[in-house]
């Protein structure tokens, strides 16, 4: 009699735990799908952008202008057009690799993995931030922590925790994704779960035929310095030549 | 009363000459061991601190507040007024000083690239503070006479050269950012390759001329640190205080020592001192109990003698004083001879060097010389003997009280 109860209890326990695991998996997949769609919305199948970048520091500020091309999830190239001192400098991202080109030296440097946390062009963005578009989809575990509610009708907050193998310095990241797939805020936490920097969409508008964070500000929460990127022009799903995302393309005007 | 007590005490040592000699040898050996090991230990610490600080850090650094510990590039300071610098240079025990600037950057050559630190140095004065100019194993160091020729040249670590697969005369591309956060990109020619044996230095550092650094990083007349070398490690605290007094009107400057710059080394030394203190304490405790035992035994076997002496009119105070002198003669002579032998040992090893067997590998990893050439300081020569003397005095307390408990009649009967 006792053993019969025991078997029934075990089967019930297995059923409940299995159901719970399946439910958790479904939730994780939902979160991952949402992040994937948001990243795809941001980049499109391919995109061409013209933008202005303002780097603000307590004692000075400077403005740079650049054009950026992206293709798929893993290829991007950024070329600076102003000021004259930086015009021609370029950065290429392919998968996890980043190359930098300087007109002054006429040399292409591959950014070593250990230096990807360094500032990109003196801004509050790091090379890591530029290269990780696809990383956040594949190298993180995602979980929805806040669903749209009465106070925040159309935003879902996803907590993304990097896998042990992910080459990132963060302890976790949090993304606020609107129902129209615009990432309105992206918060970066260190290993002690201390907020280090925040990328916030300060202006969301139509550009290139889609709703988009046309102005985004990355704020360093420790120093309160910030960098704001203002997209002036955008084209999505454009066609690029085969050699647009190669180190050779870095040196072309 | 003192002279008779001293005389009696001295003669009593011959009552049991073997015991007296053994006690004397124990005191002398303990004292000698303490003098030798404390001197050896202090010398080893100073040697390793000297070696570690000589490569890069110096003993003291003057920096802008906020530069340390993250080497914050934006925290630089103007070159000090010549008068202030003159005052600092005139501090006794200050051996040399030099300005430096530094930045993090990416170094690339051919297909390879690594991250590291680029340091701007003054060719003339850097030699007086750092050992790097003396360990160039390929090429040459910066020219002191023709500073213009140093422009665009770099001295790089051997491991870095190996990682980038470059040699003297090859190009190395630098990517970093300047004071206004604009990117800095330069092509440098490798002039020399150094090898300090320190992995941290050999695989991460590139040196360029400080004026050239100021030019490319837009830091005219600026510095990140004034690196100071003192004549000895002992002088660091004194020199630091004097610099603090001179720079008291410049609150934005901070003075830090090797302890701040290399906390790991400081902690390792503190740990070693704590462990060896335990060893010394055990040794002293054994010596203390041995002496106490010897003195008590010599009193117990003479109970009848003390009773007779007391009965014929010798005061208990004189008997107590006699025992104290008996012990003090042994302790003082043992401490003096032990100190002399300890000093002779140190002097001998200061010429030949003292090597801890099997320590070569560990020493190499920790950048500590496995052969130590010890030296004596007043502190190392007196600390051990003073403690042995005090322990000996404490161990005399119980025996010296014994005569006061003697009852003449009972003592004679027994």
Each residue of A106-147: pLDDT tens digit? 999 999 888 888 889 889 998 878 765 667 888 899 999 988
User: Where do the H-state alpha helices sit in chain A?
Assistant: 2-43, 127-131, 135-138, 247-251
Let me know whether B130 and B223 are in one domain.
yes
**Does residue A4 sit within a domain?**
no
Let me know whether B46 and B109 are in one domain.
no
Interface check B85 vs A, CB under 8 A: no
Let me know whether B94 and B211 are in one domain.
yes
Which residues in chain A touch residue B183, judged by CB atoms under 8 angstroms apart? 86, 89, 102, 121-122
**Does residue A11 sit within a domain?**
no
**Does residue A99 sit within a domain?**
yes
- By Cβ distance, the residue of B115, B182, B186 closest to A122 is B182
B76-109 burial: b if 16+ Cβ within 10 Å, else e = bbeebeeeeeebbeebeebbbbbbbbbbbbbbbb
Domain count for chain B, please give it. Answer: 2
Please check the confidence at residue A28 and state whether its pLDDT lies above 80.
no
Residue A3 confidence (pLDDT):
59
- Alpha-carbon gap, residue B281 to B313, rounded angstroms: 43
**Does residue A1 sit within a domain?**
no
- Total Cβ atoms within 10 A of residue B339: 21
Handedness of CA B20, B21, B24, B29 (dihedral sign): negative
- Alpha-carbon gap, residue B257 to B240, rounded angstroms: 8
Residue B157 confidence (pLDDT):
95
Here the contacts of B283-290 (C-beta below 8 Å, separation 24 or greater) are B283/B30, B283/B33, B283/B34, B284/B30, B284/B387, B284/B388, B284/B391, B287/B26, B287/B27, B287/B30, B287/B388, B287/B391, B287/B392, B288/B391, B288/B392, B288/B394, B288/B395, B289/B395, B290/B23, B290/B26
Let me know whether B115 and B172 are in one domain.
yes
Partner residues linked to A64 by β-bridges: A53
**Does residue A151 sit within a domain?**
yes
Interface check B111 vs A, CB under 8 A: yes
Strand spans (E) along chain A: 46-57, 60-71, 75-82, 90-94, 97-102, 107-110, 140-146, 155-162, 172-178, 183-189, 195-207, 210-220, 226-236
Handedness of CA B378, B383, B388, B389 (dihedral sign): positive
Task: Tell me whether residues A112 and B182 touch, CB distance under 8 A.
Answer: no
Please check the confidence at residue B196 and state whether its pLDDT lies above 90.
no
Please check the confidence at residue A68 and state whether its pLDDT lies above 90.
yes
pLDDT classification of A20: cutoffs 50, 70, 90:
very low
DSSP character at residue B168? T
Checking ipTM against 0.85, whether it exceeds it is no
| Choice among B108-112, B258-262, B285-289, B368-372 with the minimum mean pLDDT | B368-372
pLDDT classification of A232: cutoffs 50, 70, 90:
very high
Which residues in chain B touch residue A111, judged by CB atoms under 8 angstroms apart? 106, 113
Let me know whether B202 and B98 are in one domain.
yes
- By Cβ distance, the residue of A86, A110, A123 closest to B108 is A110
Let me know whether B137 and B194 are in one domain.
yes
Q: Are the C-beta atoms of residues B218 and B257 closer than 8 Å to each other?
A: no
B197-252 confidence digits (pLDDT tens): 888 899 999 999 999 999 999 999 999 999 999 998 889 999 999 999 999 999 99
Task: Tell me whether residues A107 and B173 touch, CB distance under 8 A.
Answer: yes
pLDDT classification of B306: cutoffs 50, 70, 90:
confident
Q: How far is CA A8 from the centre of its chain?
A: 48
Mention every residue, 6+ apart, whose C-beta is less than 8 A from residue B98.
B121, B122, B125, B126, B128, B129, B130, B226, B227
What is the average per-residue pLDDT within A147-167?
83
Let me know whether B45 and B75 are in one domain.
no
Domain span at residue B211 reads: 60-232
User: How far from A186 is each of A135, A158, A190, A195, B283, CA to CA, in Å?
Assistant: 15, 10, 13, 11, 63
What is the average per-residue pLDDT within A26-49?
85
**Does residue A170 sit within a domain?**
yes
Give the 3-state secondary structure of residue A67.
Answer: strand
B124-183 residues touching A, CB cutoff 8 A: 173, 175, 177, 180-183
| Choice among A112-121, B139-148, B149-158 with the minimum mean pLDDT | A112-121
- By Cβ distance, the residue of B106, B181, B182 closest to A109 is B106
Phi-psi region of A71 (alpha: psi -120 to 50; beta: other; left: phi over 0): beta
Residue B205 confidence (pLDDT):
95
- By Cβ distance, the residue of A57, A104, A109 closest to B181 is A57
Residue B331: exposure state from Cβ atoms within 10 A (0-12, 13-18, ≥19)? buried
Let me know whether B205 and B321 are in one domain.
no
- By Cβ distance, the residue of A109, A121, A123 closest to B113 is A109
pLDDT classification of A92: cutoffs 50, 70, 90:
very high
Minimal CA–CA distance to B53: which of B277, B231, B244, B241? Answer: B231
Residue A157 confidence (pLDDT):
94
**Does residue B285 sit within a domain?**
yes
**Does residue A184 sit within a domain?**
yes
Task: Tell me whether residues B108 and A107 touch, CB distance under 8 A.
Answer: yes
Q: 3-state SS string over B117-158?
A: EEEEECHHHHHHHCCHHHHEEEECCCCCCCHHHHCCEEEEEH
User: What φ, ψ does residue B157 adopt, rounded to 5°?
Assistant: -70, 150
pLDDT classification of A19: cutoffs 50, 70, 90:
very low
- By Cβ distance, the residue of A85, A86, A105 closest to B173 is A105
Structure tokens at A165: 């193998």
Interface check B185 vs A, CB under 8 A: yes
CA-nearest residue of chain B to A110?
B113
Which residues in chain A touch residue B165, judged by CB atoms under 8 angstroms apart? none
Peptide bond into B182 cis (omega under 30): no
Let me know whether B171 and B107 are in one domain.
yes
Interface A-B: count of C-beta contacts within 8 A: 61
Which residues in chain B touch residue A122, judged by CB atoms under 8 angstroms apart? 177, 180-183
Residue A21 confidence (pLDDT):
47
Give the 3-state secondary structure of residue B395.
Answer: helix
- Alpha-carbon gap, residue A17 to A6, rounded angstroms: 16
- Alpha-carbon gap, residue A160 to A145, rounded angstroms: 10
Let me know whether B99 and B48 are in one domain.
no
B61-83 confidence digits (pLDDT tens): 999 999 999 888 989 999 999 99
Task: Tell me whether residues A57 and B111 touch, CB distance under 8 A.
Answer: no
For residue B108, give how far its alpha carbon lies from the nearest alpha carbon of chain A (Å): 6
Structure tokens at B285: 């405790």
Mention every residue, 6+ apart, whose C-beta is less than 8 A from residue A136.
A35, A39, A160, A173
**Does residue B259 sit within a domain?**
no
The residue behind tokens 């090859």 is B170
Which residues in chain B touch residue A114, judged by CB atoms under 8 angstroms apart? 114-115
Last residue of a domain, one of B232, B250, B282: B232
Let me know whether B324 and B382 are in one domain.
yes
Please check the confidence at residue B158 and state whether its pLDDT lies above 70.
yes
Domain count for chain A, please give it. Answer: 1
Q: Are the C-beta atoms of residues A122 and A56 closer than 8 Å to each other?
A: no
User: What φ, ψ does residue A120 adopt, rounded to 5°?
Assistant: -95, 115
For residue B177, give how far its alpha carbon lies from the nearest alpha carbon of chain A (Å): 6
Last residue of a domain, one of B187, B210, B232: B232
Please check the confidence at residue A65 and state whether its pLDDT lies above 60.
yes
Domain span at residue A69 reads: 29-235
A9-41 burial: b if 16+ Cβ within 10 Å, else e = eeeeeeeeeeeeeeeeeeeeebbbebbbebbeb
Structure tokens at A185: 């805020």
Characterize the bridge pairing of strands B225-230 and B183-194. Answer: unpaired
Task: Tell me whether residues A102 and B175 touch, CB distance under 8 A.
Answer: yes
Residue B170 confidence (pLDDT):
96
- Alpha-carbon gap, residue A234 to A244, rounded angstroms: 17
For residue A218, give how far its alpha carbon lies from the nearest alpha carbon of chain B (Å): 16
Structure tokens at A247: 């180190």
Task: Tell me whether residues B106 and A104 touch, CB distance under 8 A.
Answer: no
For residue A156, give how far its alpha carbon lies from the nearest alpha carbon of chain B (Å): 35
**Does residue B146 sit within a domain?**
yes
Interface check A165 vs B, CB under 8 A: no
CATH number at A155 reads: 2.50.20.10
- Alpha-carbon gap, residue B102 to B174, rounded angstroms: 13
Disruptive mutation site among A122, A218, A226 for chain B (greatest number of B CBs within 10 Å): A122
Characterize the bridge pairing of strands B205-209 and B112-121. Answer: parallel
Residue A9 confidence (pLDDT):
59
Let me know whether B202 and B285 are in one domain.
no
User: How far from B158 is each of B84, B163, B363, B369, B413, CA to CA, in Å?
Assistant: 38, 9, 20, 21, 87
Which residues in chain A touch residue B185, judged by CB atoms under 8 angstroms apart? 89, 102, 104-105, 107
Q: Are the C-beta atoms of residues A98 and A131 closer than 8 Å to each other?
A: yes
| Choice among A18-27, A43-52, B40-49 with the minimum mean pLDDT | A18-27
- Alpha-carbon gap, residue A119 to A102, rounded angstroms: 15
- Alpha-carbon gap, residue A135 to A96, rounded angstroms: 8
Partner residues linked to A235 by β-bridges: A48
**Does residue A250 sit within a domain?**
no
- Alpha-carbon gap, residue B26 to B401, rounded angstroms: 24
**Does residue B244 sit within a domain?**
no
Peptide bond into A83 cis (omega under 30): yes
Say what angle helices B17-52 and B316-352 make with each other, to 10 degrees.
Answer: 40
The residue behind tokens 């906390």 is B263
Interface check B189 vs A, CB under 8 A: no
Task: Tell me whether residues A122 and B181 touch, CB distance under 8 A.
Answer: yes
């Amino acid at each position: 009699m006792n053993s019969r109860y025991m078997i029934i209890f075990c089967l019930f326990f297995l059923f409940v735990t299995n159901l719970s695991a399946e439910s958790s998996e479904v939730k994780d997949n939902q979160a991952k799908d949402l992040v994937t769609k948001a990243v795809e919305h941001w980049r499109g199948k391919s995109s061409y952008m013209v933008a202005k970048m303002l780097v603000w520091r307590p004692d000075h500020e400077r403005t740079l202008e650049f054009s950026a091309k992206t293709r798929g999830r893993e290829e991007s190239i950024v070329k600076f057009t102003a000021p004259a001192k930086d015009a021609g400098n370029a950065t290429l991202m392919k998968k996890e690799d980043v190359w930098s080109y300087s007109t002054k030296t006429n040399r292409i440097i591959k950014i070593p993995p250990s230096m990807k946390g360094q500032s990109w062009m003196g801004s509050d963005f790091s090379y890591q931030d530029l290269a990780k578009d696809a990383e956040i989809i594949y190298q993180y575990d995602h979980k929805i922590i806040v669903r749209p509610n009465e106070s925040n009708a159309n935003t879902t907050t996803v907590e993304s925790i990097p896998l042990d193998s992910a080459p990132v310095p963060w302890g976790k990241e949090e993304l606020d994704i609107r129902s129209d797939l615009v990432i309105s805020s992206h918060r970066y936490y260190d290993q002690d779960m201390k907020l280090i920097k925040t990328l916030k969409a300060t202006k969301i508008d139509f550009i290139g035929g889609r709703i988009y964070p046309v102005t985004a500000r990355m704020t360093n929460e420790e120093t309160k310095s910030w960098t704001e990127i203002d997209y002036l022009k955008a084209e999505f799903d454009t066609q690029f030549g085969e050699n647009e995302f190669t180190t050779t393309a870095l040196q072309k005007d | 009363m003192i002279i008779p007590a001293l005389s009696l005490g001295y003669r009593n040592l011959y009552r049991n000459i073997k015991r007296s000699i053994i006690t004397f040898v124990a005191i002398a050996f303990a004292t000698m061991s303490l003098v030798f090991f404390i001197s050896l230990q202090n010398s080893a610490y100073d040697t390793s601190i000297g070696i570690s600080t000589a490569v890069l850090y110096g003993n003291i650094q003057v920096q802008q507040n906020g530069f340390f510990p993250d080497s914050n590039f934006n925290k630089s300071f103007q070159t000090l007024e010549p008068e202030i610098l003159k005052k600092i240079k005139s501090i006794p025990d200050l051996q040399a000083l030099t300005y430096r600037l530094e930045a993090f950057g990416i170094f690339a050559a051919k297909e390879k690239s690594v991250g590291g630190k680029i340091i701007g140095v003054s060719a003339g004065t850097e030699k007086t503070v750092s050992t790097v100019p003396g360990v160039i194993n390929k090429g040459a160091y910066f020219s002191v006479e023709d500073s213009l020729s140093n422009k665009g040249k770099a001295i790089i670590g051997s491991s870095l050269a190996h990682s980038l697969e470059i040699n003297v005369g090859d190009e190395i591309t630098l990517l970093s950012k300047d004071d206004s956060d604009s990117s800095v990109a330069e092509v440098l020619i490798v002039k020399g390759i150094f090898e300090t044996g320190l992995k941290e230095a050999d695989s991460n550092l590139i040196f360029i001329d400080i004026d050239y650094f100021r030019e490319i990083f837009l830091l005219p007349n600026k510095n990140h640190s004034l690196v100071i070398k003192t004549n000895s490690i002992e002088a660091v605290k004194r020199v630091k205080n004097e610099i603090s007094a001179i720079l008291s009107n410049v609150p934005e400057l901070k003075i830090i020592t090797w302890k701040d710059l290399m906390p790991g080394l400081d902690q390792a030394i503190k740990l070693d001192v704590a462990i060896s203190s335990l060893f010394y304490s055990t040794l002293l405790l054994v010596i203390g109990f041995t002496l106490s035992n010897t003195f008590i035994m010599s009193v117990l076997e003479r109970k009848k003698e003390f009773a007779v002496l007391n009965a014929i009119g010798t005061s208990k105070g004189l008997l107590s004083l006699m025992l104290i002198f008996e012990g003090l003669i042994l302790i003082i002579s043992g401490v003096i001879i032990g100190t002399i032998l300890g000093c002779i040992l140190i002097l001998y090893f200061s010429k030949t060097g003292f090597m801890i067997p099997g320590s070569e590998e560990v020493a190499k990893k920790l950048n500590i010389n496995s052969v130590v050439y010890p030296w004596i300081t007043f502190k190392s020569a007196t600390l051990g003997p003073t403690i042995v003397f005090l322990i000996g005095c404490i161990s005399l307390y119980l025996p010296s009280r014994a005569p006061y408990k003697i009852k003449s009649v009972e003592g004679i009967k027994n």
